[in-house]
Amino acid sequence: MNSRLAEEGRRKVVLHLAGCKACREEMALLIKLKKNQEENLKEVPQEIKTSAFSQIPKKKTWQNVFQCLDPLYDAMKLVGMTVRFATELI
């Protein structure tokens, strides 16, 4: 019974994705974030560990600040998309 419900859920999601560009974009972002996360799980080389702080740009330009905020921006975008995805499926 449980697997039948899961199957119907999957069908519903797949059908929705087929017709909804916004949710397909969310899916693409999820895959991208998952890939980033997996890459970040790899062991950080010692030379990066010891020099990472010295590689932070000394000159604080707005561009540098925004670059640092990129991962946060992606996360916020994902939260927004997930909420929309959930409300559309209800």
Please tell me whether residue 88 binds Zn ion under the rule CB under 5 A. yes
**Restricting to residues 18-47, which ones interact with Zn ion according to CB under 5 A?**
20, 22-23
Nearer residue to Zn ion within complex by CB, 20 or 78: 20
Tokens of 86: 């959930």
The CA distance from 12 to 4, in Å, is 12
Nearest to 77 by CA among 18, 1, 26: 26
CB of 81 to Zn ion, least distance (A): 9
CB of 26 to Zn ion, least distance (A): 8
- Three-state SS for 43? coil
The CA distance from 49 to 42, in Å, is 13
Which range, of 7-15, 32-40, 62-70, 81-89, touches Zn ion by CB under 5 A? 81-89
Binding site for Zn ion (CB under 5 A): 20, 22-23, 88
